[in-house]
Amino acid sequence: MQDHDRDKLHKLVENHKSDGKAADVLNESNLKREMAHSMDDSNEGAEKDLEGIKIHCMGEFEEGAEKNLEEAKLPAGNKMIGPSISFSLSDIKKEYKNATLPAHWKVFDTVIFREKEDGLHASSKIAAFDFDGCLANTSMKRVGADQWSLQHKSIPEKLQRLYDDGYKLVIFTNESNIERWKNKRQQAVDSKVGRLDNFIECVKAPIQVFIACGLGKGKGIPDDPYRKPNPGMWWLMAQHFNSGIKIDMDQSFYVGDAAGRENDHSDADIEFAKAIGLKFHVPEEYFGF
């Protein structure tokens, strides 16, 4: 890490501490990009520092994954802004456990996210979507970045129109395979992030993406606060990935296929929306046949 990056990081952390709120995400994002670039330059110092960060973070995660998850349970908070999620630059990793990610994807806790990209603007209006079975037709039996198709033909046009109307587009998706396929984790990651990258390229609109990799409550496994129906991914976005802009809940909405209907595999999407207080639509209703 170069000296000026270290200074910026220091300032960022100090700002974060002093006001107790999220640092300006636009600046934070730029800083992250700058830092990533300086690290990518791979001078020896940068590599060494990066290794240091990685070992520290991985060590923490591997030693007490269960404990961390337990601690990650979000405390009760203000209903409008949700429970406060502590977040700083040093929490961000470039790998999910032993799986590597493309440069524009990063990890926070049990969430893999696609970083801010050109054209993606923070907004008070959020158009949020589930991915599998909502935007993309996928199957548990098929694996691979190209193993998907548009769930509805109208999706690219609708998303482009929302973007033109000033909405920020956000995908909130659960992906338990990344955690469960311990011996094929890289394959699970490549498949999921590859599909999302290809989808975004196809619809030609900038989209922010959050992937919840944690598992639901099970034998000896605590409930992951970011896995839908838990609302943690939303609060993470609202508090730290929207440049501090307050979200207009009247104009924002969420679309998902898990609505607890007779043939639905679950009610995770509708319960996610309810927990946040977001308007909810099923994909057929929103995108039409």
Minimum CB–partner distance for residue 282 and Mg ion (Å): 10
Which residue stretch of 31-39, 47-55, 130-138, 176-184 sits at the interface with Mg ion (rule: CB under 5 A)?
130-138
Of 87 and 172, which has the nearer Cβ to Mg ion?
A: 172
Yes or no: say if 54 and 93 are a contact pair by the CB < 8 Å rule.
yes
Minimum CB–partner distance for residue 34 and Mg ion (Å): 36
Judged by CB under 5 A, the residue of 130, 179, 190, 224 near Mg ion is: 130
Minimum CB–partner distance for residue 204 and Mg ion (Å): 22
Of 11 and 265, which has the nearer Cβ to Mg ion?
A: 265
3-state secondary structure of 262: coil
Yes or no: say if 75 and 83 are a contact pair by the CB < 8 Å rule.
yes
How many residues line the site for Mg ion (CB under 5 A)? Answer: 4
Which residue stretch of 123-131, 148-156, 241-249, 274-282 sits at the interface with Mg ion (rule: CB under 5 A)?
123-131
Minimum CB–partner distance for residue 222 and Mg ion (Å): 23
Q: Which of residues 250-279 bind Mg ion (CB under 5 A)?
A: 257
Of 109 and 130, which has the nearer Cβ to Mg ion?
A: 130
Minimum CB–partner distance for residue 174 and Mg ion (Å): 8
Minimum CB–partner distance for residue 266 and Mg ion (Å): 8
Which residue stretch of 125-133, 152-160, 203-211, 212-220 sits at the interface with Mg ion (rule: CB under 5 A)?
125-133
Q: Which residues of 254-288 are buried (b: 16+ CB within 10 A; e: fewer)?
A: bbbbbbeeeebebbbbbbbbebbebebbbbeebbe
Tell me how far apart the alpha carbons of residues 129 and 278 are, in angstroms, rounded to a whole number: 12
Yes or no: say if 164 and 288 are a contact pair by the CB < 8 Å rule.
no
Minimum CB–partner distance for residue 258 and Mg ion (Å): 5
Beta strands in 66-122 (DSSP E): 92-93, 95-96, 99-100, 105-108, 111-114
Which residue stretch of 128-136, 205-213, 229-237, 279-287 sits at the interface with Mg ion (rule: CB under 5 A)?
128-136
Tell me how far apart the alpha carbons of residues 229 and 258 are, in angstroms, rounded to a whole number: 10
Of 87 and 131, which has the nearer Cβ to Mg ion?
A: 131
How far is Cα of residue 227 from the mean position of the Cα atoms in its chain? Answer: 11
Of 28 and 130, which has the nearer Cβ to Mg ion?
A: 130
Ramachandran quadrant class, 88 (left: phi over 0; alpha: psi -120 to 50; beta: rest): beta
Phi (first) and psi of residue 281, to 5 degrees: -135, 150
Of 28 and 257, which has the nearer Cβ to Mg ion?
A: 257
Minimum CB–partner distance for residue 176 and Mg ion (Å): 12
CA geometry: angle at 220 spanning 219 and 223, to 5°?
90
Judged by CB under 5 A, the residue of 29, 111, 126, 132 near Mg ion is: 132
Tell me how far apart the alpha carbons of residues 247 and 253 are, in angstroms, rounded to a whole number: 11
List the structure tokens of 184. Answer: 């094929």
List the structure tokens of 271. Answer: 């319960």
Comparing every residue's Cβ against Mg ion, the nearest one is: 133
Judged by CB under 5 A, the residue of 45, 83, 133, 156 near Mg ion is: 133
Residues that bind Mg ion (CB under 5 A): 130, 132-133, 257
